Amino acid sequence: MMTVANEAVIRIKHMIASGELSPGSRLPSQDDLAYRMGLSRSALREAVRSLTAMNVLVSRQGDGTYVSSLRTPLLLRPLGFAADILPDDELVQLLDLRAALEPYAAALAAARITTGDAEALSTLVRRGAPDAPVSDFLDADLALHRRIVELSGNEAVATLVEAISPPALQPRILGTAPPADLRAATYDDHLGIVAALTTGDAEAARVTAAAHVANVRRHLLRTLACDGSLTST
C-alpha cells in the first residue's frame, strides 16, 4: 500500500520529469507545495528527505530546497552506500554485475583510448606487478579498473562499477594478502586487457576483461567455500 509520503515522492518526481521543475530550480515553499498537492506538511517533509537522500533534491541551509543537477553520477552514487557491508556470499552477485558491465566498458574504451591513456594504464599495470607491495598491488588494481570504465565514456556504467567496487570491498574479494598465484594471474590479465585496448581491438578488450572478472569470481568462490561462508554457487 502506497503511503502519503510515497505519493508525494512520485508527484515531485513527475514535476521534474515533466519539466515543471528543472535541474537547479528552487522548489516552492513546503507550505505552498503541500497546499498544491493536498498533502500534509509532514508527508511532504518526509518526501523531501527521501529525495534529498537520493540526490534528486539538495537542501541549502537558509535558502530552500533545489532540484539537483540530475547528472547520472550524482543520482547513481547512493547505490554504493551499502555495497561494502554486504554479506560475503552476496559479493559473488556484485562480481556477476561487474562481469556484465566491465567487458562492455572495455570494448567502448578501445574505441576512445589515446596514446597517453594507454601509457597511463601500462604504468598502473607495472605498479601492480606480482612482486609489488600489497598496498601498491591493491591500489593499482582499483585504479586500473576505474580508469578503464571512465575511458568508456559511459557515465552510467562508470558510476555503477565504482558504486559496486568501493575500496573497502577490494581486500574482501582479493584478500588482505592476495596469494601469489592470484597476483600473477591478475597481472597477466591486466597486461592482456591493456594490450587489447592499446591496439583498439574492442572484441579482444571485451573478452580479456570478461576473463579477468571470471578469474576473480572463481578466486572468491574458492575463498568463501574454504571459509564456510558459501552455502551454494
Q: Count the Cβ atoms, other than its own, within 10 Å of residue 148.
A: 27
The structure's pTM equals 0.79
d(CA 119, CA 31): 57
| Domain ranges for the chain | 4-70, 75-227
Cell 554504493 sits on residue:
80
pLDDT for res 233: 44
Cα–Cα separations (whole angstroms), residue 134 to 115, 168, 171: 28, 15, 10
Grid cell locating 44: 511532504
Residue 1 has pLDDT above 60, yes or no: no
pLDDT for res 229: 60
Helices (H), 63-133: 72-76, 91-110, 115-127
Contact 140, 199 (CB under 8 A): no
pLDDT for res 30: 86
Q: Count the Cβ atoms, other than its own, within 10 Å of residue 180.
A: 10
Residue 40 has pLDDT above 70, yes or no: yes
Average pLDDT over residues 217-230: 84
pLDDT for res 76: 80
Which fold, 75-227?
Four Helix Bundle (Hemerythrin (Met), subunit A) (1.20.120)
Residues of the chain by 3-state class (helix, strand, coil), percent to 5:
70, 5, 25
pLDDT for res 230: 56
Q: Render the burial of 32-46: b for 16+ CB within 10 Å, e for the rest.
A: ebbeebebeeebbeb
Q: Nearest 5 degrees, angle CA 145-CA 147-CA 153? A: 115
| Residue 44 or 203, more confident | 203
Q: What is the pLDDT of residues 142-164, one digit of tens each?
A: 999 999 999 999 999 999 998 88
Decide whether 4-70 matches 75-227 in CATH topology: no
- Give the mean pLDDT of the chain: 91
178: left (phi over 0), alpha (psi -120 to 50) or beta: beta
Average pLDDT over residues 1-14: 84
Grid cell locating 43: 508527508
In sign, the C-alpha dihedral spanning 105, 110, 113, 116 is: positive
Q: How confident is the model at residue 2 (pLDDT cuts 50, 70, 90)?
A: low
d(CA 143, CA 156): 18
Average pLDDT over residues 120-141: 96
Q: What is the pLDDT of residues 49-97, one digit of tens each?
A: 999 998 999 998 888 899 999 988 888 877 777 777 888 888 899 999 9
What is the dotted CATH code of the domain comprising 4-70? 1.10.10.10
The number of C-alpha atoms within 13 Å of 112 and in the hemisphere containing its C-beta is 13
pLDDT for res 232: 46
